[in-house]
């Protein structure tokens, strides 16, 4: 790997977000109520991951080492794209408010209705989340998730209530989160499903550039015990 973006979950969990990591050998994950994702250091990290997750457990991954040894079952696999935003011109959004722990129930409800990707009750602890309300109701939000070495910060959970789409809220919130990232001297990136053509067009219009194709996957660990990592 030549860039933390090549193996971003592992890079985050062994770098800026190491304080959140649950780790065994060459495998690490977030607490389940923070994020579903885990990562491994290399192709030999599967025994460490089995020791970390336990027998018969589902693990969610996105990275370069997605060919498990025999005994692991693939339960989910979808193609995606990773885009970097070094040329994005972030812009503040005066109508956006910082979301906090008291807003989590509304955030979870919005995520359930819009399906932007995994979001848990403590995901908000990963970074800044901004939201916009309409008639007192959370209408749209976006925030930061992975933080990597080299100043890369992921924009995530970009979603808008269907009743308020077409107002440019996703665009303005994405730029507002990018503005906050850039104000800290960092660089934004994001990932989305390859089938999410409308979102990809929006991100590219904002200045994000395709860096690489990625996969979002889930595997179920073998029920039998594997040799424990050293």
Residue 225 has a pLDDT of 57
* Interval 38-58: pLDDT, tens: 999 999 999 999 999 999 999
Residue 1 has a pLDDT of 59
Q: Is 60 exceeded by the pLDDT of residue 27?
A: yes
Domain 83-212: homologous superfamily in CATH: Gcn5-related N-acetyltransferase (GNAT) (3.40.630.30)
Residue 229 has a pLDDT of 46
Residue 12 phi/psi, 5-degree rounding, is -70, -45
* Interval 199-224: pLDDT, tens: 999 999 999 999 999 999 999 999 97
CATH 3.40.630.30, domain 4-80+214-220, yes or no:
yes
Q: Is 60 exceeded by the pLDDT of residue 83?
A: yes
Residue 227 has a pLDDT of 52
Arithmetic mean of pLDDT, 124-130: 97
For the whole prediction, is pTM greater than 0.85? yes
Q: How confident is the model at residue 230 (pLDDT cuts 50, 70, 90)?
A: very low
Give the residue among 212, 200, 185, 229 at the shortest CA–CA distance from 4: 212
Residue pointed to by tokens 């994005």:
88
Q: How far apart are CA 120 and CA 109, in angstroms?
A: 11
Residue 90 has a pLDDT of 98
Q: How confident is the model at residue 2 (pLDDT cuts 50, 70, 90)?
A: confident
Residue 210 has a pLDDT of 98
Q: Exposed/middle/buried for 181, CB within 10 Å: 0-12, 13-18, 19+?
A: buried
Contact indicator for 172, 52 with CB cutoff of 8 Å = no
Q: Is 60 exceeded by the pLDDT of residue 144?
A: yes
Sheet order of strands, 38-40 included: 22-24, 27-29, 38-40
Q: Is 50 exceeded by the pLDDT of residue 114?
A: yes
Q: Is 70 exceeded by the pLDDT of residue 194?
A: yes
All CATH 3.40.630.30 domain ranges of the chain, comma separated, are 4-80+214-220, 83-212
Q: How far apart are CA 56 and CA 172, in angstroms?
A: 42
Contact indicator for 65, 219 with CB cutoff of 8 Å = no
Q: Which of the 8 DSSP states describes residue 143?
A: E
Arithmetic mean of pLDDT, 175-201: 97
Residue 189 has a pLDDT of 98
Give the whole-number percent of the chain exceeding pLDDT 70: 97
């Amino acid at each position: 790997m030549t860039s933390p973006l090549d193996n971003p979950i592992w890079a985050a969990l062994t770098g800026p977000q190491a304080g959140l990591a649950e780790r065994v050998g060459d495998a690490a994950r977030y607490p389940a109520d923070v994020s579903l994702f885990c990562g491994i250091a290399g192709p030999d990290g599967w025994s460490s991951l089995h020791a970390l997750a336990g027998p018969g457990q589902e693990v969610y991954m996105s990275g370069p080492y997605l060919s498990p040894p025999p005994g692991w079952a693939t339960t989910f696999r979808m193609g995606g794209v990773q885009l970097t935003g070094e040329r994005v011109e972030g812009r503040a959004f005066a109508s956006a408010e910082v979301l906090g722990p008291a807003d989590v129930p509304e955030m979870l409800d919005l995520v359930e209705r819009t399906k932007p990707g995994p979001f848990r009750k403590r995901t908000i602890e990963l970074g800044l989340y901004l939201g916009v309300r309409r008639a007192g109701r959370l209408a749209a939000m976006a925030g930061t998730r992975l933080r990597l070495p080299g100043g890369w910060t992921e924009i995530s959970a970009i979603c808008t209530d269907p009743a308020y789409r077409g107002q440019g809220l996703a665009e303005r919130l994405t730029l507002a989160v990018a503005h906050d990232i850039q104000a800290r001297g960092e660089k934004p990136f994001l990932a989305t499903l390859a089938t999410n053509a409308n979102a990809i067009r929006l991100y590219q219009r904002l200045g994000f550039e395709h860096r690489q194709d990625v996969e979002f996957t889930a595997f179920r660990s073998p029920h039998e015990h594997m040799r424990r990592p050293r």
